[in-house]
Amino acid sequence: MKRNLFCVPIAFATVVTQLANCTAVGDEIERKLARSEFDMKEFRNFISHDLSRPMSVGSLALRGITTRTVHGQVLDHEGNPIIGALVAIAEPIGYSHQCYDENFDKTDELGRFLVEGHQSRSRLAIRRGPGQIWRFNLKPDKRNVEIEWPKLATCKVTVNPKLCKPGAAITITTTKYWAGMSIMRYETRLDQNHQATVNNMIPGEYFISSSKTIAVGDEKEEKSWPVDIGQFTIDAGETKDVRCEPVGVRIKGRLEDATKKVAEDGKMFLRIARQKNVYHDWSRSVDVLPLDREGKFQTAALQPGRYVFRFYRVQKEEPRGGLRGFGAVGGDHQWYKTRVTINEGDSDFKLTFPQHGKKGIVGFVHQTLDSEPLAIHSWAHSDVQVAQLKRHEDRLGVSQELLRILADPHTPQPWLHVTVEALGQMLETPGIVDALLKTLEKPHRVRSRASIFRALQTSKDSAGKIIDGIAKYRKSDDLILRNATHSALGRLAATSPEAKEKAVPFLIDALSDSDERLRSDAAASLGRCKAEQSVEKLYELREDRNGKVAVWAAWAIWQTTRAREQAVAVMTTRLRAKTFDGKWDAVYLLSEFDDPTEEIIDALVELTKFDEKPPYHGDNYQRIRLKRTAESTLKKIAPDVLGNASKP
C-alpha cells in the first residue's frame, strides 16, 4: 500500500479534513506541506550525457517569464519515498521553448520536491541515477502530483557471433533524445558466450549498438563507427531475452562516378543510416564499410525500411568535426548521398550509384533537398536550397513535387523544413495555397502546422481565405500552434483592408491569452495595422503584470493614436524597474522616438555603464544585451550623449 503523499501526522491530517471545504485555508495548508525552497547544488550532476549543456538559470520570474510551480512526491512501485532524485520541468527537444537550461530540485527524505518552470511546460523529468530517467505528463492546471517510479526491468542480450566478437562493448540507448534530462544509455560487454545482462532499466524503446572498425585504403587506415545490431521494447518489471541476428536484405552495389578517385588510393567508405522521420528520433547508423578499388561494396543485412547511403572520401587531415556528436565524420568529405527503400518481401539485390531512376523535376528536387552544406555550421543552408528550387524554369513542376513530398507521411524529416519554406515563397503558383490549407487537416502533419502557418502568412492575394482556414487553431491547447496562428493573423492583417477586418477581432481576443509572449505579439500586430477598435483594450493592457506586454501595448496605442506621452511614461518606468521583463523591448522601441527627455537619456546611459564580464548567461547576459541595445538607441536619438558620457 502506498504511503500518504506527505506522511503527515494523524492529528494534522484530521485538521486538513475538517478544513477541506475552505479554499483559502486549504491553499495555506498545501503551501506548508510543499517544499519551501529550491536545491540548486551540484547542477553539473543533473545530466547523464553531454547533448545538453545545462546551467541554473535562477529566478525565471525576475526575467518576466510567466512560470508554473509544481510540487509533489516521488515514490517507488512499492510506495516508498525516493530520496535524492533530480526533478525538473522539461520538454522533448525540437520544439519552441527548448529546455537546455532549467531549474531543478532534489527530493527530500519524504520524496518531496518543488520545481519552477515556464508556464508552457507540460512534462516533468525525474533522474534517479545514470541511465535512469522517468518522464511524467503534467496537466495545465496541475500543481500537486504524486509520481510512481516504475519497477525496473532486466534485459538479457545474446548477439550472433557474425555481429560482434566476444568481449565487445555494446551500448543500449533510447530511440529518442530529449532536452533537459537528455537520453538513457546503458553500457556493458559481451562475455565469452556472446551474452550480456543489463539490470535496472527504465521501461521503453531501445537500440543496441556496437562499434564497428574498418580498414580504408592501401594504408589500411582504421575508421570506427557505432552501428545498430538490434532494437527492442521492454515493459516495467519485465525480464526480457533479446537476440541480435543478421536478418534482412543484403545489397551489392557500385559507386560509378567515383571509381577513378577510388582507384587512386582506395580511400572511400560508405555509411548507412536509418532515415529519420521524426525530429527527436535518433539518426542511427546500421553499417559502415569500405569500397574496393572498383567502387564495389556489400552491405550487412538490412531490415525493411528507408535508409540514407552516404559515401565518404577520407581526407589527409581530419580537423575536429561534428556538432556535439552529430554531422559527418570529422574531416571526411561526403562524396555522394542517396536514399534507398527496402520493402517487405525483398531479397538480396544490386544497385549502381548514382541512381538514375529519378530524372527531370523529381530528380532535381530530391537532389536539392538532399544536398548538405560544405561547413558543419552553415545554418543558412536552407536558404540556398530554397533559392535553387525557385530558380528552376519549371516552377509549377517543382511546386507539385514539393506538395507531393509534403503529403507523403514517410518524407524524411530534414526535407520538411525546406519543403514548407520553399512552398511559402511560391504562393503565387496556382493551387499551392489550397493544397497547404488541406495539408493542415492531415494527421501526419500535425507537427508541421506551425511551419505551414509561417509559410502562408506571406500571401497577399489569398489573405482572406487563409484567415478563414487557420482561425480555428487560435484556441489550440498547443502554445506553439497558438503563437504561430496569431503571428500569421498579424502579418495577414496588414495585407489588405478586407484581411484587416477579418483578423483584428481575433487579435483583440488574443490580448486576453494566458501566455505573455502571445499577448505582447498580438499588441504589436494591432499597433502595426493601427486597429482603432483595439485601443480601449490596449489601455487596460498597459497595467499588465508582465512588463513586456505593457510596453508593447503602450507602443501600439502610440502607433494608432499618436499618444506619445503615455508610451514614453510606460517605457521609462520599465527602464527603472528591477526585473528584466519588458526592459529590452522598451530600450529598443525608444529608438523610434525623437526629442527624448532627460529622464530617458539618463536611464539609457545608466544601462550602458554595466561592465561586461563572464559568465555570459543568466542575469549577466540580460545586462550585456541591455547595454548594447541602449548604446544603439542612444546613437540614434542622442548621438552626442555617449561621447560626452565617456569623458572624465
| pLDDT value for 137 | 85
For residue 278, pLDDT beyond 80: no
The fraction of the chain above a pLDDT of 90, given in percent, is 42
Query: Confidence band (pLDDT; 50, 70, 90) for 227?
Result: very high
Domain ranges across the chain: 10-148, 150-246, 251-356
Question: What is the rounded CA–CA span in Å between residue 230 and residue 415?
Answer: 27
Query: Confidence band (pLDDT; 50, 70, 90) for 260?
Result: low
Highest mean pLDDT among 24-38, 158-172, 403-417: 158-172
The beta-carbon contacts of 359-368 under 8 Å, at least 24 apart in sequence, are 360/397, 361/392, 361/394, 361/397, 361/398, 361/400, 361/401, 362/401, 364/392, 364/398, 365/389, 365/398, 365/401, 365/402, 365/405, 366/339
Q: What angle do CA 525, 546, 603 make, to 5 degrees?
A: 95
Give the mean pLDDT of the chain: 79
**Contact at 8 Å (CB) between 251 and 286?**
no
639 vs 90, residue with greater confidence? 639
Q: What angle do CA 612, 617, 618 make, to 5 degrees?
A: 105
Highest mean pLDDT among 140-144, 290-294, 416-420: 416-420
What pLDDT digit, counting tens, does each position of 92-109 carry?
444 333 444 456 788 888
| pLDDT value for 474 | 93
- How many other CB atoms sit within 10 Å of the CB of residue 239? 11
For residue 62, pLDDT beyond 70: no
| pLDDT value for 355 | 60
Least reliable range by pLDDT among 470-474, 479-483, 529-533, 556-560: 479-483
Please determine whether the domains at 150-246 and 251-356 fall in the same fold group of CATH.
yes
What pLDDT digit, counting tens, does each position of 341-368 carry?
898 888 888 888 766 545 688 888 988 8
Question: What is the rounded CA–CA span in Å between residue 558 and residue 554?
Answer: 6
- Residues written for the chain: 648
For residue 507, pLDDT beyond 80: yes
Question: What is the rounded CA–CA span in Å between residue 417 and residue 438?
Answer: 18
- How many other CB atoms sit within 10 Å of the CB of residue 117? 27
Amino acid at 79: G
Alpha helices in 494-575 (DSSP H): 497-510, 516-528, 535-541, 547-561, 564-575
* Omega cis (within 30) before 166: no
Sign of the CA dihedral with 423 first, then 425, 431, and 437 last:
positive
- How many other CB atoms sit within 10 Å of the CB of residue 427? 19
Residue whose C-alpha cell is 524554369: 393
| pLDDT value for 105 | 80
Q: Answer yes or no: CATH 2.70.70.10 is held by domain 251-356.
A: no
- Give this prediction's pTM: 0.69
Mean pLDDT of 389-407: 93
**Contact at 8 Å (CB) between 503 and 493?**
yes
| pLDDT value for 344 | 87
| pLDDT value for 538 | 96
Residue whose C-alpha cell is 548538405: 372
Question: What is the rounded CA–CA span in Å between residue 349 and residue 55?
Answer: 51
3-state secondary structure of 89: strand
Class of residue 354 by CB neighbours under 10 A (exposed 0-12, middle 13-18, buried 19+): middle
Write down the architecture of domain 10-148 according to CATH: Sandwich (2.60)
Which of the four CATH numbers 3.90.105.10, 3.90.1150.10, 2.60.40.1120, 2.40.50.100 does domain 150-246 have? 2.60.40.1120
| pLDDT value for 103 | 67
